[in-house]
């Protein structure tokens, strides 16, 4: 009798395969994969975005050329501390000095013309004559009054009284004549002539003030106390109207100017907090707030941006003016949201899922509804409860029922 018939051989192989399969299944069922997990928790989700900006002084002044000229002398260097009114450079001012001298001459001529007009028109003389006539009339009045009393007392003759009365009438008529003459002359001729002379004098004085202002500007005076950020051009340089001659700033107060893309710009407001870092100071952080936002958006290249100014709180170090910095803006904050790490949410067929760690540390796929997020967390609207544990390990290839060894950070 044969030990193995064809039928027995097939049966033996089948049983062997079954045993191997059962062994493999048992081994698979008992396999445990270490994996990182996290618990869903209720908290506040802060949304942020990053951009860059440039440090600049809050208070600064630029000096621009008023006219075409040539730089003759430069007396300061970039970085120097300067005082208000200090001359930073000198422009060629020969033509300006000549213009100022001519303006002074015109003012003197206009003043002399006005003085001559006032004296030549006899008004000044008439005023003096009126003053003298008033004094004569007062004296004549006093004499007549006294003689009238003396006449009643028969202390003087009638002739003496008549002479004093005639003197009174003569003084009165003389004062009235002078007043009438002045009134006629002032009404007919003087106002027009004096107004014209006064207007010419005021115009000459204005021209002189402008000439002296341009002459002073040729000395390039510092407009404020501060530090020179931009020094004047080198001697011999030709400058045109509008060219920058110097820039002075107060470096005690700094701010950051940033251009923010339209979607992010609409999410910040005055007072929004901002975190500032600089490659020049590794590990250092400055805090600030949004102090001003542009009223409209502008186009820079292919970007549509808004402009934001941000304050800088004092730190251990002072950021240099004109240096580039990185900014982290806090745009929105969602309170009391159910949060899970970003790595916990999977997208499949336009739906969102998480692997929940269930009984026996086995994974179970569950659909969830997501809300807002930031770089670290996602807020869930539904599908999960607080304190439930979810898989967050991107190096694990999970599947339904998979058994893991949870490892929380």
- Tens digits of residue pLDDT in 296-311: 999 988 889 999 999 9
Residue 113 vs residue 293, higher pLDDT:
293
The reported pLDDT for the residue numbered 117 is 67
Output the pLDDT for position 124: 67
Specify whether domain 50-59+253-333 bears CATH 3.40.50.1820: no
Q: By C-alpha distance, which of 167, 172, 192, 190 is closest to 130?
A: 172
- Measured from the Cβ of residue 301, the count of other Cβ atoms closer than 10 Å reads 6
Mean pLDDT of 169-181: 89
The C-alpha atoms of residue 26 and residue 119 are separated, in whole angstroms, by: 129
Q: What is the mean pLDDT of residues 222-232?
A: 92
Predicted local distance difference test score (pLDDT) of residue 21: 66
Is pLDDT larger for residue 69 or for residue 184? 69
For 67, 228, 251, 292, the CA distances from 248, given in Å and listed in that order, are 20, 5, 9, 22
Q: In Å, what is the CA distance from 16 to each residue of 2, 12, 406? A: 20, 6, 36
Tokens 């309170």 label which residue? 335
Q: Is the pLDDT of residue 120 over 90?
A: no
Facing residues of 115 across strands?
none
Residue 378 confidence (pLDDT): 94
Confidence band, pLDDT 50/70/90 cuts, at residue 97: confident
The architecture that CATH gives domain 33-45+335-407 is Beta Barrel (2.40)
User: What would the mean pLDDT of 254-278 be, rounded to a whole number?
Assistant: 91
Q: What CATH code is assigned to 94-217? A: 1.10.287.470
The class (CATH top level) of 66-92+218-242 is mainly beta
Structural domain boundaries in the chain: 33-45+335-407, 50-59+253-333, 66-92+218-242, 94-217
pLDDT of residue 316: 82
Strand partners, 56: 255
- Domain pair 33-45+335-407 / 94-217, same fold: no
Question: pTM here?
Answer: 0.54
Mean pLDDT of the chain, nearest integer: 87
Condensed to tens digits (0 to 9), the pLDDT of residues 9-58 reads: 677 777 777 767 665 555 555 578 999 999 999 999 988 889 999 999 99
Q: How do residues 304-337 score in pLDDT, each as one tens digit?
A: 999 999 999 988 888 998 899 999 998 888 899 9
């Amino acid at each position: 009798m044969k030990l193995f018939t064809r039928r027995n051989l097939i049966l033996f192989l089948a049983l062997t395969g079954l045993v191997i399969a059962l062994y493999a299944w048992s081994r698979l069922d008992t396999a445990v994969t270490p994996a990182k997990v996290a618990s869903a928790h209720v908290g506040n989700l802060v949304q942020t975005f990053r951009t860059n900006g440039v440090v600049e002084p809050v208070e600064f002044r630029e000096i621009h050329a008023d006219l075409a000229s040539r730089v003759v002398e430069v007396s300061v260097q970039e970085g120097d501390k300067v005082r208000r009114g200090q001359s930073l450079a000198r422009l060629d001012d020969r033509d300006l000095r000549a213009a100022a001298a001519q303006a002074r001459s015109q003012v003197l001529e206009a003043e002399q013309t006005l003085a001559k007009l006032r004296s030549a028109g006899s008004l000044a003389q008439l005023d003096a004559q009126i003053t003298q006539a008033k004094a004569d009339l007062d004296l004549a009045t006093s004499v007549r009054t006294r003689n009238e009393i003396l006449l009643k007392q028969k202390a003087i003759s009638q002739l003496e009284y008549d002479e004093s009365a005639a003197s009174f009438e003569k003084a009165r008529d003389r004062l009235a004549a002078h007043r009438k003459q002045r009134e006629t002359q002032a009404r007919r001729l003087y106002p027009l002539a004096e107004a014209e002379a006064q207007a010419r004098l005021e115009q000459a004085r204005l021209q002189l003030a402008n000439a002296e202002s341009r002459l002073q500007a040729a000395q390039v005076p510092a407009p404020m106390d501060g530090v020179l950020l931009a020094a004047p051009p080198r001697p011999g340089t030709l400058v045109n109207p509008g060219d920058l001659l110097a820039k002075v700033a107060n470096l005690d107060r700094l701010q950051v100017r940033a251009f923010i893309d339209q979607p992010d710009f609409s999410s910040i407001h005055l007072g929004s907090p901002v975190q500032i870092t600089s490659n020049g100071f590794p590990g250092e952080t400055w805090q600030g707030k949004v102090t001003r936002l542009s009223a409209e958006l502008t186009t820079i290249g292919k970007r549509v941006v808004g402009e934001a100014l941000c304050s800088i709180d004092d730190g251990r170090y002072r950021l240099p003016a004109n240096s580039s910095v990185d900014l982290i803006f806090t745009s929105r904050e969602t309170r009391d949201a159910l949060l899970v790490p970003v790595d916990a949410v999977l997208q499949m067929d336009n739906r969102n899922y998480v692997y929940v760690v269930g009984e026996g540390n086995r994974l179970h796929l569950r659909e969830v509804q997501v809300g807002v997020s930031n770089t670290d967390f996602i807020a869930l609207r539904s599908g999960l409860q607080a304190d439930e544990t979810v898989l967050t390990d991107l190096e694990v290839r999970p599947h339904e029922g998979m058994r893991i060894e949870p490892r929380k950070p």
